[in-house]
Amino acid sequence: MPLALWALAISAYAIGTTEFVIVGLLPTVAADLAVSLPAAGLIVSVYALGVTFGAPVLTALAGRLPRKALLLGLMGLFVAGNLAAGLSPTYEALLVARVLSAFAHGVFFSVGAIIAADLVAPDRRASAIAMMFSGLTIALVTGVPLGTWIGQHFGWRATFLAVALLGVVGAAGIALLLPRNIATKPAAGLWDQAKVLAQPRLLLAFAITALGYGGTFVAFTFLSPILQDITGFGEGAVSLILVLYGLAIAVGNVVGGRMANRNPIVTLAWLFGLQALVLLAFAFTAPFQVPALVTLAGMGALAFANVPGLQLYVVQLAQRHAPGAVDVASALNIAAFNLGIAIGAWAGGQVVASALGLGATPWVGSIFVAGALGLTLVSGALDRRAA
């Protein structure tokens, strides 16, 4: 694999860390900025919305810019956003800084996947894209727990400053290792994206993605306060538990990908069913430390096990219903993942603020996933009817 792929993977690692590390820091941020937990949860939602709506628009607008210059500009925006977050004096300033980082996030992965594929021979393109995206998985296993530890010991602002430094390393790698002569392929315009959204079957698939992936974030967004206030773990234990959660995610992603290769819609139905049950179980096991950890490992594995199947299924549907816009459909499904995060985090905040309280977030999340299961069964029935 070319060295340039390592630069892309390091940048992806930094971006993945900044997206999810806020979960481990939520109580710290809320206490320092004197806001409620639901308000702190909006920091997750705002970032995800920035990716959801910023990526398609900015990718279309930047379609004709030189690829290397575009990536360097995106990493510059990413570093600026994290520096602004690390220096934020108020809650409102932090929200604005997160949106800046989110804009860089969405376009980077949209453009970076195409560049990664172009850096290698045609028969190695999938592996090259997987290598770039491995930065996200590794961030969940190591970056998020380490960032949480830094935030707990040196303040949450130190975490964002450390991520900004990671972004500088990624940008330096891109500047030094990425070739200048990368072909510029115009990105899909807004009209092309709108035509994909007019396809009912693809809209159904995007809804499955948003509910199925976002359901976990109803509880995951508030995982740190759940572990401290309900399960009874100390603040220092949270970063170690996040390592367990990250390892479960990595295993689940690999296993889910292998399961979905043959028949993604059947695999998704099983995974959503199990995921809904595990989330429901977590509502009852959360007060007990050992059962909570076992349930949490299952929750992590199942939360990301559906990602390969969801992406593959959207591509298959696009090949049948929008054959000229498969890439656009794939990119919009990435937006649907982030829309799910935004909705899940917001809904979790509403639950925490209500009479139901923090302990209800897992079973409310299971309702979201059960909704995804129902839509999956509907979509599978439509596939069989068409066949």
Q: Do 215 and 315 fall within a single domain?
A: yes
End of a domain among 187, 211, 239? Answer: 187
End of a domain among 187, 213, 248? Answer: 187
Q: What residue ranges of the chain have pLDDT lower than 50?
A: none
**Identity of the residue numbered 246:** G
Q: Do 328 and 249 fall within a single domain?
A: yes
Residue 379: give the domain boundaries: 188-387
Q: Do 195 and 120 fall within a single domain?
A: no
Q: Do 320 and 192 fall within a single domain?
A: yes
Q: Do 31 and 180 fall within a single domain?
A: yes
Q: Do 116 and 254 fall within a single domain?
A: no
**Domain containing residue 233: CATH number:** 1.20.1250.20
Q: Do 203 and 180 fall within a single domain?
A: no
Q: Do 140 and 233 fall within a single domain?
A: no
CA dist., res. 200 & res. 225, Å (int): 39
| DSSP summary character for residue 30 | H
What pLDDT score does 315 carry?
79
Q: Do 308 and 164 fall within a single domain?
A: no
Q: Do 86 and 9 fall within a single domain?
A: yes
What pLDDT score does 311 carry?
80
What pLDDT score does 378 carry?
95
Contacts of 52 (CB under 8 A, 6+ apart): 106, 335, 336, 338, 339, 342
Q: Do 245 and 148 fall within a single domain?
A: no
Q: Do 260 and 148 fall within a single domain?
A: no
Nearest alpha carbon to residue 335 among 192, 197, 198, 210? 210
For 97-119, b/e burial (b = at least 16 CB within 10 A) is bbbbbbbbbbbbbbbbbbbbbeb
Number of domains the chain is built from: 2
Q: What percentage of the chain has pLDDT greater than the value 70?
A: 95
End of a domain among 187, 211, 227? Answer: 187
Asked if 281 and 334 count as a contact pair (C-beta separation under 8 A), the reply is no
What number of other Cβ atoms are within 10 A of residue 129's Cβ?
20
